[in-house]
Amino acid sequence: MHKKTIRDIEIKGKRVLVRVDFNVPLDPETNAISDDSRIRAVLPTIRYLVEKGSKVILCSHLGRPKGRVVEELRLAPVAKRLSELLGLPVASAGDCIGPEVEEAVSRLNEGDALLLENLRFHAEEEKNNLEFAEALSRLADVYVNDAFGAAHRAHASTAGIAQYLPAVAGFLMEKEVDFLSKALTEPAHPFAAITGGAKVSDKLGLLENIMGKVDSLLIGGGMCCTFLKAQGYSVGQSRVEEDKLDFARKLMDKAASAGVKLILPSDVIVAESFASGVPCKTVSVSEIPENYYVMDIGPSTVDEFATEIRKCKTVMWNGPMGVFEYKEFRNGTEAIARELAKLEATTILGGGSTAEAVEELGLADRMSHVSTGGGASLEFLEGKILPGVEVLQDK
């Protein structure tokens, strides 16, 4: 990584404001944290700062309160869980700016940690308001961004604040950028990319950017229906992005001319509705019934995908293979995850639903890297510059 990290600056005794991504999923009934992986991901940075004698001030958003206080989106439960994971008390503030917060920060001793209240309780955060950024900066001497999942947003706490404080990366940010950069610039070959998810339009930039870098491209999920339609197949009631059919044809032509093996499903699992418990069946892609939806890749496709990725030294995966939230249609995603877990290769997974799937399966620690950023990892892999990374000091 060509940006400075917390290793490159003096932090002992300094007030260090750390932007983290504690936008954790909450149980709708109990409001308890249902997955703490984003909290665990930043523990190395927090522990390092604590051990080096910093006064650690953490800030994050949670949910979409849209500039108003929403009681269910307060960060106190996150502070409690962070305290348990760290084995150290983490105080929680009643706000993220203002005299009372400044007073709470002034009482911190070296090695103490304080979690500020939800940044998005202030509308100025998402507007990248510089007065709000300056108010945040008054709390600290140094700014650290360890929130890769929010790095694609030019908000006050990810971009604006770097105008007021020296800005460097935390260890998670460093790890994310290093893994994703190497996948794009110096992957070990053979290199396969697996893409899924609902829509081609969500993956346009990714598909275009990786085409000249991969040896094989495997396409599953709902987005495969647009490619199948572009090949002349009928896909029943499945969603097809008609305005992306030309893109699909051109991408397939580009793959052929570049010597990239582009593999689409040969069979799929179909059902008459998007629900659990409905009858489903496996059919060839040439025999998809008119009144059915494509819900998952089929067993022959799983075998074809597995055979291809077993040859690889680098595999990048972004997007589930089917409607993973229903147990009947999760076999494709689960099979690919288990296959990747067995590989002696570099395996890099994009965030969002792909990360959730491998976490749920208990396979995340078998992957080389599981990104904590859904939109951020996708934009990075598209070749875009992330505002939250760009503003960090160069080495």
Active site residue 352: yes
Give the closest residue to 149 by CA, choosing from 381, 374, 380: 374
Active site residue 199: yes
157, 269, 298, 362 from 287: Cα distances, Å: 52, 11, 13, 35
Give the closest residue to 266 by CA, choosing from 223, 213, 305: 305
293-297 and 267-271: which strand pairing?
A: antiparallel
Cα distance between residue 357 and residue 333, in whole Å: 8
Dihedral sign for Cα atoms in the order 135, 136, 139, 143? negative
Indicate which residue of 98, 111, 205, 375 is catalytic: 375
Active site residue 322: no
Phi/psi of residue 256, nearest 5 degrees: -60, -45
Given a contact cutoff of 8 angstroms between Cβ atoms, the answer to whether 50 and 95 are in contact is no
Indicate which residue of 199, 261, 338, 366 is catalytic: 199
Cα distance between residue 290 and residue 281, in whole Å: 14
Active site residue 64: no
Given a contact cutoff of 8 angstroms between Cβ atoms, the answer to whether 66 and 27 are in contact is no
Indicate which residue of 38, 55, 81, 213 is catalytic: 38
* Consecutive H or E run containing 280: strand 280-284
CB count, 10 Å around CB of 82? Answer: 25
- Sheet containing 267-271: which strands, arranged edge to edge? 280-284, 267-271, 293-297
Place of tokens 């994310």: 176
Indicate which residue of 352, 373, 374, 388 is catalytic: 352
Q: Which two tokens stand for residue 54?
A: 């910093």
Residue positions annotated with a catalytic role = 38, 199, 352, 375
